[in-house]
A and B are shown apart, each in its own frame.
Chain A
Amino acid sequence: MNYPAELKYSKSHEWVKMEGDVAVIGITDFAQDALGDVVFVNLPSVGDSVTAGAAFGDVESVKAVSDLVSPVSGEIVEVNEALADAPEVFNSDPYGSWIIKVSGITDTEELLDAAAYEAFCAEEA
């Protein structure tokens, strides 16, 4: 399992990368492994507002569906539409598969660093 040191992590298994004041958000390696083959993603739209701790979409594997939970509150400024046609990249490249970019951040969940997240995952498994 891969936990890049430069990222922050939520307990609902999203990763966050700050690019200036924009949060780039995706799902973690642990999340994709637990889901198995991802076959569908429900994406939000640019302009939607997101709330820290609330769902902004969902991702479906053959086995199960899982909510995508935003670690921040703010407004979506970009959506990775390519994921809709190729959701399998969540499995092959979870940290290259960003889902949304959020700016105007007003609130942020408590996020873990790589080491703490790895320990958290070890507990969950």
Chain B
Amino acid sequence: MGELKRTQLYDVHVNSGATMVDFGGWEMPVQYPTGIVAEHLYTRHACSLFDVSHMGRLLIEGPDRVAFLQHVLTSNVDALDLNMAQYCIIPDEDGSAVDDAYLYCFNEDNLLLVVNASNTDKDLVHLNKYLKDYNCTITNITADYASIAVQGPKSKDMLTQLAGGVALTEPVKNALNTLTMEGREVLIAKTGYTGEPLGYEVFIKSCDAQWMWNRLIELGAKPAGLGARDTLRLEAGMPLYGHEMGVDPDGNNMPIFAVPLARFAVSFAPQKGNYVGREHLAVQYEAFKRINNRDFSDLAALPRRIMPITLLDKGVMRGGMTIYKGDKQVGWTTSGTMVPYYVAEGEGLQSVILDETAKRSIGLCYIDSDTLKDDIVEVDVRGKRLKAVIPQMHMSVMAPPFARPLLYRPTEEQKAVVVDDNTPKAITLLTKALENHRWRQQRCVNLIPSENTPSRAVQMLCASDPAFRYAEHKKVKAFYDSDIFYYQGTKFIDEVEQKLVEQMRRYLGCREVETRVISGQMSNAATFSALVDWKNRLDRKHDAKRLGYVLNNHIIKGGHLSAQPMGALKDYIAVDPVTERHAVVNFPVCADNIYKIDVEETKKVIEKYRPELIIFGKSMVLHKEPVAAIRKFVDEQNIPTTIMYDMAHVLGLIGDSFQKPFEEGAEIVTGSTHKTFFGSQRGVIGVNYKKDELKYGLWETIESRAFPGSVSNHHLGSQLGLLMAAYEMNQFKAEYQKAIVDSAKHFAKCLKAEGLNVAGDPVIDYTETHQVIVSVGYGVGPEVAERLEQNNIIVNYQATPDEEGFTASGALRMGVSEMVRFGFTFDDFAKLASLMADCILRNKDISEDVAKLRSEHLEMQYCFKGEEFDAALEGLVAELGV
């Protein structure tokens, strides 16, 4: 093997006892003494190191680099932001793949293209053919840098240690950063080829390669070779050039759209122009769409596609085996082997990954495009026809920090409903409801910040007669904008609604209020719908233009789901044609406090994107939102926009203790009425437009998008209850709001003093709202939250701004509102903090202590009392038969 190339880590591999093989002209470790199975499993439960220094690293520099890459890659290079990477394919003129690659933007001066080792020379020849028309250069820097893939659930922790505790990258796939680790420069990417939800690839100068490798081994990582790299990527369903891309066993080029990833890697953005292979790719894409709509009439452009395959009979598939349906050959396996996995026990979030391991025989195949999931096929395994099936996928990466194997389960037939006597079920339902009510109301400390218990008066009103009625009404111009009701019997609820609007105007401090929306999410949806309608009011002859850009809080940074494209914004947000992504930008957050908006950086974002809608508000909220500062800025800069504050969580805090949104410059406030507010579960929209203003038309549009746009029946009982809640709030808000913020600060300080890791800024006692965030350790949030529930404390687990998602949650989100309302004092919160520390840190059973603490606070505060009020309430209660 004397002529083979060696990486910077060759000596390390040989000294570790690796078996070295020729891989694409490089002498590489295929496995270490523990073997492929052990290396595969160690990656899945801990962390493995892969030497990927053999991969081709090509630096693209010069003013035309983006234009050049737009022409020679399938991806939309304009959509690649600084410190982000994208998967791409190098297309050939005929729409097949020359190679697949990853493009990295580590800085504003150049782009780094990483290609397969064995294709590097071929890729360079291919790329150079197109280079002459562009003012840019390609430099092969493969030898200057080493590259190590650090993959597995412990990778983040190990690399963070090397980085001295600083955040590695944004917690999203493909995020990049440039860091200094122990005095050495490290380019780090949240990418990988193992399917691990937590995995990084680092680029370091050649002279630092051994240092990095050895330091990570010291921290507990183990080396893994090309063998494990192949079984891991196969389990993850990732294509390997030469197997799932390139030439099929008949010698034909495989179309790029045969690979499922093509859907994301191929762009037809106008600015890409007529790039290499575009016409063929467009034809493939049309076929792809037809096939996905199960129209198999014309498969010419995409006769076969890459799909996962699972062997049902005993045996092992390898690449290149023939697949049959009956006597007809329908394709080939492209990769296959026996892959190990950890056995899991239990269902859902509570499922436990055991130490026990097993193996399964899986592969990928290139199979007729009319093949569907669950189709049974036969694979010719060296002369024997073995039964196999097409599963949905082999593994899911959607539950970090662990990759979860998905074993094939046939789709179950739904059982026929058995008709029997429901009386016992009805009785059980009543008994269980009573049990639950008693537990939640007498023994449980509820710290869910989105919840509150309404007063007895509110609850009774919610259950009283209008609960079952309709009261559709609409302002009609012909009657000077009088509200016209369509049904009789609505005079009482009409009066209630008018009074509720009046109370909410007073409370919010604005001119107009809509109270018919029945949730915070609906408040936002109706508002977004109205904004789109208002935007398009002068042109009804074309499809309505959607909103863009919109500035909001990123969901990972605490942004409210209802203000995200994945929530209520979905149908109303435009796609930016240049980036082909939703036209949303996010508030930048302070470097030293990720819970707080960075006002100065926000101004830059506003200048750049000139958003037509700015949405303040969060669901993980510790700080006031800088409404006044941003209002001042957009007014000074004359930027036409609409400032909205989604106050879902903090609606009950409007006032001196928190914020006064309209005084600070918000135009629209939306919210839900049952989190910090006292109400039944509904929504509300308030605006401050004057009747003679142009934007008063937007308000009228909001009203019509509430009814008839969003609701017909709008749950009249709860509207009646909400009026009582609004009376309570306007009467008691000063004391209640002060108690909330003071208690939250006190609770946070007590938790901190008990040794818990309280998030936020200690200078302001961690919080300016009802919420307190406690970090309990990466990925253990769900387990700790469940333990607290078993001890009668209800919280919700929460991913912090540097975590990957809910399964990786390392924090608890808590709110004090409900317990303040039940009269918890500073002493009670101190006691609670001490009990929680016992449970979280020392795993002590505190269930009876918590129940006792709760049982001492059963009487609701901040609500009406007194003989006359009680008499009136009990009259209603008696009539309801409670």
Contact = CB atoms under 8 A, between A and B. Distances in A.
Q: Do A and B come from one complex?
A: yes
Interface of A: 36-37, 39-40, 42, 58, 60, 62-63, 65, 84, 88, 91
Interface stretch (B28-36, B171-179, B205-213): B28-36
Most buried by B among A37, A58, A91: A37
A39 B316 contact: yes
A116 B8 CA distance: 39
B680 to A, nearest CB: 60
Contact of B37 (A39, A42, A60): A39
Contacts of B19: 36
B30 A63 contact: yes
Nearest to A40: B316
Given A63-B227, A65-B382, A40 B36 contact: no
A40 B382 CA distance: 14
A65 B35 contact: no
B737 interface: no
A39 B339 CA distance: 9
Contacts of B30: 63
A62 B227 contact: yes
Given A60-B316, A62-B231, A63-B227, A39 B35 contact: no
Contact of A91 (B35, B227, B359): B35
B231 A58 contact: no
B315 interface: yes
Most buried by B among A42, A58, A63: A63
Contact of A40 (B35, B38, B338, B340): B338
A37 B361 CA distance: 14
A39 B318 contact: no
Interface in B596-618: none
B173 to A, nearest CB: 27
A60 B338 contact: yes
Interface residues of B, number: 20
A62 B361 contact: no
B318 A37 contact: no
A16 B263 CA distance: 55
A68 B304 CA distance: 35
Contact of B359 (A36, A39, A63): A39
A40 B315 contact: yes
Contacts of A39: 37, 316, 337-338, 340, 359
A37 B316 contact: no
Nearest to B37: A37
B314 interface: yes
A62 B382 CA distance: 16
A37 B36 contact: yes
Nearest to B30: A63
A36 B314 contact: no
Contacts of A36: 19, 31, 35-36, 227
A40 B361 contact: yes
Interface in B307-348: 314-316, 318, 337-340
Contacts of A37: 35-38
Contact of A42 (B35, B231, B315, B339): B315
B36 A63 contact: yes
Given A63-B30, A63-B227, 8 more contacts: A36-B227, A37-B35, A37-B37, A39-B37, A39-B338, A39-B340, A62-B36, A62-B37
Contact of B316 (A65, A88, A91): A65
A88 B382 CA distance: 22
Nearest to B315: A40
25 contacts: A36-B19, A37-B36, A37-B37, A37-B38, A39-B37, A39-B340, A39-B359, A40-B314, A40-B315, A40-B338, A40-B361, A42-B315, A60-B315, A62-B35, A62-B37, A62-B231, A62-B337, A62-B338, A63-B30, A63-B227, A65-B318, A65-B382, A84-B314, A88-B37, A91-B35
A36 B359 CA distance: 15
A37 to B, nearest CB: 4
Contact of B382 (A58, A63, A84, A91): A58
A63 B228 CA distance: 10
Contacts of A62: 35-37, 227, 231, 337-339
A88 B338 CA distance: 12
A15 B37 CA distance: 25
Interface string B14-38: 0000010000000000110001111
Report, nearest first, the 3 A-B pairs whose CB atoms are least far apart. A39-B338, A37-B37, A60-B316
Contacts of A40: 314-316, 338, 361
B227 to A, nearest CB: 6
A62 B101 CA distance: 26
Contacts of B316: 39-40, 60, 65
Interface in B35-94: 35-38
A21 B702 CA distance: 95
A37 B340 CA distance: 11
Nearest to B36: A62
Contacts of B340: 39
Most buried by B among A60, A88, A91: A60
A34 B716 CA distance: 76
A58 B30 CA distance: 22
Contacts of A60: 315-316, 338
Nearest to B361: A40
Contacts of B382: 58, 65
A52 to B, nearest CB: 21
Contacts of A84: 314
Contacts of B314: 40, 84
B361 to A, nearest CB: 7
A77 B314 CA distance: 23
A65 B317 CA distance: 10
Contacts of B231: 62
Nearest to A91: B35
Contacts of B315: 40, 42, 60
Contacts of B337: 39, 62-63
Contacts of A63: 30, 36, 227, 337
Nearest to A39: B338
A55 B318 CA distance: 19
B835 to A, nearest CB: 49
A58 B338 CA distance: 15
A62 B338 CA distance: 6
A63 to B, nearest CB: 6
A89 to B, nearest CB: 13
A19 B35 CA distance: 34
A6 B21 CA distance: 33
Contacts of B38: 37
B312 to A, nearest CB: 14
Contacts of B339: 62
Nearest to A58: B382
A40 B338 CA distance: 8
B340 to A, nearest CB: 8
Contacts of B31: 36
Nearest to A34: B19
A29 B543 CA distance: 72
Contacts of B36: 36-37, 62-63
A85 B19 CA distance: 27
A92 to B, nearest CB: 11
A91 B316 CA distance: 18
A89 B19 CA distance: 21
Most buried by A among B30, B35, B231: B35
A103 B756 CA distance: 72
A9 to B, nearest CB: 22
B130 to A, nearest CB: 38
A119 to B, nearest CB: 22
Contacts of B35: 36-37, 62, 91
Nearest to A63: B227
Contacts of A88: 37
A90 B37 CA distance: 14
